Amino acid sequence: MMILRFVLLCFCLSLAATAYADDDDHDSFWSFSKDKSGVRAVDHMLYRQNCAECHFAYQPGLLPRRSWQKMMQTSSLADHFGDNAELADADRQSILAYLNTYAADDADYKRSKKMMRSIREHETPLRITQVRYFIEKHDEIPLRMVTGNPQVRSWSNCATCHTTADTGSFEEDDVRILGVGKWEDD
């Protein structure tokens, strides 16, 4: 009977730990998996130089391969969200290889896996802000704090509020909304 209670206690603790670790605010605490929290930080200099010149250098683990492949087509780069982002073919191929290698499809980072789970097989999102997981994580933030805030202006300005975004960490504890302060999810 004592052994049965011990086994039941261990089982309950493992369920609680798993639920706790699955909560985005506690990605690393009590986690029994080898998954890393957040997403893999950008470490490809050519990608950073070319893409971060105009916007935040989004981590490849935030979108699936099919999204990066579509985005990096020569025709797509000619009209990249209203701008011409054409690259020399060798540079485009190098960046695409990097994006393909570290895309969310096979990433061992929790945030990447959560992004992938929220994207249906037939979907090829080109904007991270249109991914269901992103929308669910930001749904409690009033528009006035982001799109209505002249210091932020857009949901795509990740590093404006996520102070550790460049490292691949998007933890809620590190969110500081310009003009508002620390975000508290009540």
The overall average pLDDT reported for the chain is 87
Q: Which residues contact 147 (CB under 8 A, 6 or more apart)?
A: 153, 154, 155
Strands 181-182 and 176-177: antiparallel
Q: Kindly report the pTM of this predicted structure.
A: 0.79
pLDDT of 186 strictly over 90: no
User: Is residue 164 one of the residues assigned to a domain?
Assistant: yes
Neighbours of 174 (CB within 10 A): 15
User: Is residue 4 one of the residues assigned to a domain?
Assistant: no
User: Is residue 117 one of the residues assigned to a domain?
Assistant: yes
In b/e form, how buried is each residue of 64-85, taking b as 16+ CB within 10 angstroms? bbbbbeebbeeeebeebeeeeb
Structural domain total, the chain? 1
What type of residue is 152?
V
10: pLDDT confidence band, cut at 50, 70 and 90? low
User: Is residue 24 one of the residues assigned to a domain?
Assistant: no
Q: What is the mean pLDDT of residues 99-108?
A: 96
pLDDT of 22 strictly over 80: no
User: Is residue 92 one of the residues assigned to a domain?
Assistant: yes
User: Is residue 119 one of the residues assigned to a domain?
Assistant: yes
Residue 6: predicted pLDDT = 57
Look at residue 182 and give its three-state secondary structure: strand
Query: What residues make up the domain containing 159?
Result: 45-182
Q: Which tens digit of pLDDT belongs to each residue from 61-73?
A: 999 999 999 999 9
User: Is residue 112 one of the residues assigned to a domain?
Assistant: yes
Q: Which long-range contacts (CB under 8 A, 24 or more apart) does 42-47 make?
A: 42/166, 42/168, 44/94, 44/95, 44/98, 46/91, 46/94, 46/95, 46/98, 47/95, 47/98, 47/99
CA distances from 116 to 92, 96, 145 (A): 24, 19, 27
User: Is residue 165 one of the residues assigned to a domain?
Assistant: yes
Q: What is the mean pLDDT of residues 49-71?
A: 95
Residue 184: predicted pLDDT = 75
Lowest mean pLDDT among 24-28, 57-61, 115-119: 24-28
pLDDT of 153 strictly over 80: yes
Tokens 């310009």 belong to 178
